[in-house]
Amino acid sequence: MISAFPVYPIRRNKAMRFGHFDDARREYVIDTPRTPLPWINYLGSEDFFSLVSNTGGGYSFYRDARLRRLTRYRYNNSPLDMDGHRIYINDGGTIWNPGWQPAKTELDRYTCRHGLGYTILQGEKNGIAAAQELFVPRGDACEIDRLTLENKTAAPRTLDVFSYVEFCLWDAMDDSSNFQRNFSTGEVEVVESAIYHKTEYRERRDHYAVFWANAPVTSFDTSRDAFCGVYGGPVAPEAVKAGHCSNSIAHGWAPVGAHHFHLTLAPGEKKSIIFGLGYIENPVREKFSAPGIINKARAEAMMARYATDAQVDAARRALADYWQELLSGWQLTSGEEKLDRMVSLWNQYQCMVTFNMSRSASYYESGIGRGMGFRDSCQDLLGFVHMIPSRARERILDIAATQFEDGSAYHQYQPLTKKGNSDVGSGFNDDPLWLIACTAAYLRETGDWSILDEPVAFDNDVTRAQPLMEHLRRSFRYTHTHLGPHGLPLIGRADWNDCLNLNCFSEHPGESFQITGPSEGPVAESVFIAGMFVKYGREYAELCDHLHLTEEAASARTAIDAVEQATLTAGWDGAWFRRAYDAFGAPVGSRECDEGQIFIEPQGICVMAGIGRETGQAEAALKSVEERLDTPYGVVLLQPAYTTYRLNLGEISSYPPGYKENAGIFCHNNPWISCAETVLGHGDRAFAVYKKTCPAYIEDISEIHRTEPYVYSQMVAGRDAPTFGEAKNSWLTGTAAWTFVNVSQYILGIQPTLDGLRVDPCIPHTLAGYTVTRRYRGAVYHIRVENPHAVQKGVQSVTVNGAPIAGTLLPLAKAGESVEVSVILG
């Protein structure tokens, strides 16, 4: 018998915010530097990226956070968040930073505005206002930091102003470990206000960094020892205290870039200084022009592009236009302020960031541990494909090229080389099916069937290239040919849940974290992959239909039906779907288990796949989720939490109860439950689940939640955890894509299909109506949905440009057209 699950009280009930949404400016405005954790933003959307926190911490890299790191960042440091994009002001001995850190001098005023690809830190002290405006301009590989100083007093003021960055010696992994070498490789060169960081250029490298200012400096430093002092540090660097740098040239050790300006501001006067940090790559033939001498032409051209305020203003405007255009493709007006700002802005913004970063670089992902995840990037694409389909197309082809000929895949790859990571290897048996998921999403969005004909390498070997469709076929076949004793898919090393390592003991006794063996052999099976196979297998069969591969479609459906049957029988526990069978053939996620009786993942994916809809099992499964897994902060991953480590389950049981995959609220699969509820027509419940983890809806509990209130986090501590409600791992999570898919397609019901756009909402009955502007295949649809009878689901009528249509599939408009759609629910 299952004991009753107690309802836990909310740990603290203090409503506390640390800022607010400025919807008109599309910013989150933070009004104290003492946020519960650093609240960050991402600058850059193409090749050059910077992370910047609300106090100016962070770092920059070019394309690959591990292999092309421009500036150093020390994770898990104490004090926290010391390294960054720094500006120091020495005002007659009072040393402060516009973003408060690292000096932490109390400011008279402070605000941080995180916007779309830019951040503005504003500090004021003793009548001097300083604004540090950071962004990565479109089309250039650099970060611009414009400092604007204003003397708000009636007396002239003389200040010493410093910039400061600490260079990373490019490979961030090597940089943080190989000191015996790296203390001797550093090289710099200074030409007027440009500080060149050229470590490793003399070897086989072809790139360097430049940190410049747009005005002549009073002094500079390039040696950390000189700037900070050997026993000093970023809190109060010796040079800043002294009021001048020493024009040091770094030879090895730690090269840095620091500019110093001694300046006077008349009463009321404003002055700006533009700093830039650029990445330059020279063609190979220029590499060895002369030992140690770099060709600076590209750097000079870059500096000339941002030499004046007018140029910087224009670059800022271009960035704003870019985002305006991108977001204009999906806009919501519902009268529900929080919903509107998440859908129209922040959720899509986070989707762009996860698309760019995968799981590589955040304040929780070090940039050296993981590159691009196979399953992660496939899922990120689901929430991004409508924004820039061409980039999604390119990404699909990159991901597919890391697949093996048997359909399995490297679990991760490096963004710079695009090669699979052999340290991590393959064997996660859900991976292949995610490739079908993202390709089908791309086709539904674009109708660009040519992608299926693109030749794509296997394991990056172009001599073995096959059309993308063949890759999908092998994905499908991989699952189909790797079924276990119950007719359910073999799990391999793990499935979506990385920590469910059911075969771990059999291959490497005692080493549950590093399983490198083949995925076949051990018999553990996954009901989750079964659900995926039914859902994405059917999508694959639809592609076959479209390509007139009639026999293949039919045999695929036969295979899918068999797995569906196995799921409804062997995969069913009586009131919910089981999670798996372990390597002994014992069920996981069953009432037969002492702990871990019910898991969230199979309930979400199976119901989304439509499994058990006719038999009542789907209803029962979601009811069990609500009864057993729901909490005020979201739906936990499993119950009861594992209290002891279990060799037959692996990493999942290594976490203390309530954290991460061991009964944490893993935000990524909360939207699956919400989607599943809409499949059954439960709009009220779907929206209730949506709101629980939605950042804008929980802004008031920022003190409990701790991470940024404008983006999703990977996990929130579950009710078994002493810190129930506390989030971790913000930004880089599949939650972003899945919540956007959930809210845009399943709840608001604007659904791209292979044949065009369908409108079929499932909303809370209290929502009276809304309008959506949706760019789709080059046309713009203005869709007005009205809910006069307060229903949760059901379309009564649809008119397109004033004329009624039958059904809910909108006729395809031509590119460039504007379509007026009116939908009445009832």
Of 495-503, 592-600, 605-613, 813-821: span binding ligand NOJ (CB under 6 A): 495-503
Q: Residue type at 311?
A: Q
When the beta carbons of 277 and 500 are compared against ligand BGC, the nearer one is 500
397 touches, from ligand BGC, ligand NOJ, none (C-beta below 5 to 8 Å by class): none
Separation CA 45–CA 35 (nearest Å): 26
# residues near ligand BGC by CB under 6 A: 5
| Chain residue at closest Cβ approach to ligand BGC | 498
Residues 530-559 contacting ligand NOJ, CB under 6 A: none
When the beta carbons of 724 and 738 are compared against ligand NOJ, the nearer one is 738
Q: Which residues of 775-784 are buried (b: 16+ CB within 10 A; e: fewer)?
A: bbbebbbebe
CA distances from 455 to 98, 460, 543, 759 (A): 52, 12, 17, 34
Q: Retrieve residue 592's tokens.
A: 């037969």
Q: Count of residues for the chain?
A: 826
Under DSSP, is residue 39 helix (H, G, I), strand (E, B) or coil? coil
Of 660, 685, 692, 728, the one binding ligand BGC (CB under 6 A) is 660
Q: Least distance (Å) from ligand NOJ to the CB of residue 497? A: 5
Asked if residues 53 and 81 have their Cβ atoms less than 8 Å apart, the reply is: yes
Q: What are phi and psi of 61, to 5 degrees?
A: -150, 165
133 touches, from ligand NOJ, ligand BGC, none (C-beta below 5 to 8 Å by class): none
Asked if residues 170 and 83 have their Cβ atoms less than 8 Å apart, the reply is: no
Residues 572-591 contacting ligand BGC, CB under 6 A: none
Q: Least distance (Å) from ligand BGC to the CB of residue 660? A: 5
User: DSSP E strands: which ranges in 157-230?
Assistant: 157-170, 188-191, 194-197, 207-213, 219-223
Q: Least distance (Å) from ligand BGC to the CB of residue 505? A: 18
Under DSSP, is residue 114 helix (H, G, I), strand (E, B) or coil? strand
Does residue 23 have an active-site annotation? no
Of 134-142, 163-171, 238-246, 368-376: span binding ligand NOJ (CB under 6 A): 368-376
497 touches, from ligand NOJ, ligand BGC, none (C-beta below 5 to 8 Å by class): ligand NOJ
Under DSSP, is residue 793 helix (H, G, I), strand (E, B) or coil? strand
| Residues β-bridged to residue 159 | 263
When the beta carbons of 187 and 376 are compared against ligand NOJ, the nearer one is 376
| Chain residue at closest Cβ approach to ligand NOJ | 498
Of 497, 590, 603, 792, the one binding ligand NOJ (CB under 6 A) is 497
Binding status of residue 375 toward ligand BGC by CB under 6 A = no
When the beta carbons of 666 and 770 are compared against ligand BGC, the nearer one is 666
Quickly list DSSP for 283-316. Answer: -GGGTTSBTTBPP-HHHHHHHHHTSSHHHHHHHH
Asked if residues 123 and 130 have their Cβ atoms less than 8 Å apart, the reply is: yes
Binding status of residue 376 toward ligand NOJ by CB under 6 A = yes
Dihedral sign, Cα of residue 433, residue 436, residue 437, residue 439: positive
When the beta carbons of 216 and 510 are compared against ligand BGC, the nearer one is 510
Q: Least distance (Å) from ligand NOJ to the CB of residue 393? A: 22
Asked if residues 725 and 704 have their Cβ atoms less than 8 Å apart, the reply is: yes
Q: Least distance (Å) from ligand NOJ to the CB of residue 251? A: 41
Indicate the burial class of 518 (C-beta count within 10 angstroms; 0-12, 13-18, 19 or more).
Answer: middle
Of 72, 359, 393, 486, the one binding ligand NOJ (CB under 6 A) is 359
Of 221, 498, 630, 760, the one binding ligand BGC (CB under 6 A) is 498
Q: Least distance (Å) from ligand NOJ to the CB of residue 168? A: 24
Residues 600-659 contacting ligand BGC, CB under 6 A: 651
Residues contacting residue 370 through CB under 8 Å, at least 6 positions apart: 358, 359, 360, 412
Give one word for 42, left, alpha or beta, with left for phi > 0 and alpha for psi -120 to 50. Answer: beta
Asked if residues 389 and 443 have their Cβ atoms less than 8 Å apart, the reply is: no
Return the residue matching tokens 């591969």. Answer: 549
Q: Retrieve residue 201's tokens.
A: 């250029």
Binding status of residue 493 toward ligand NOJ by CB under 6 A = no
When the beta carbons of 497 and 503 are compared against ligand NOJ, the nearer one is 497
376 touches, from ligand NOJ, ligand BGC, none (C-beta below 5 to 8 Å by class): ligand NOJ
Binding status of residue 375 toward ligand NOJ by CB under 6 A = yes
745 touches, from ligand NOJ, ligand BGC, none (C-beta below 5 to 8 Å by class): none
Binding status of residue 221 toward ligand NOJ by CB under 6 A = no
Separation CA 36–CA 18 (nearest Å): 9
Q: Least distance (Å) from ligand BGC to the CB of residue 499? A: 5
Of 681, 690, 691, 692, the closest CA to residue 719 belongs to 692
Q: What are phi and psi of 422, to 5 degrees?
A: -80, -15
Of 27, 187, 498, 582, the one binding ligand NOJ (CB under 6 A) is 498
Of 826, 775, 783, 802, the closest CA to residue 330 belongs to 775
Separation CA 595–CA 572 (nearest Å): 17
When the beta carbons of 735 and 745 are compared against ligand BGC, the nearer one is 735
Catalytic residue among 498, 573, 582, 720: 498
Binding status of residue 499 toward ligand BGC by CB under 6 A = yes
Q: Least distance (Å) from ligand BGC to the CB of residue 183? A: 32
Of 145, 661, 720, 726, the one binding ligand NOJ (CB under 6 A) is 661
Q: Least distance (Å) from ligand NOJ to the CB of residue 379? A: 8
Give one word for 573, left, alpha or beta, with left for phi > 0 and alpha for psi -120 to 50. Answer: alpha
Q: Least distance (Å) from ligand NOJ to the CB of residue 352? A: 18
Of 380-388, 494-502, 604-612, 813-821: span binding ligand NOJ (CB under 6 A): 494-502
Residues marked active site are found at: 498
Q: Which residues make up the interface to ligand BGC (CB under 6 A)?
A: 498-499, 651, 660-661
Residues of this chain that interact with ligand NOJ (CB under 6 A) are 359, 373, 375-376, 496-499, 661
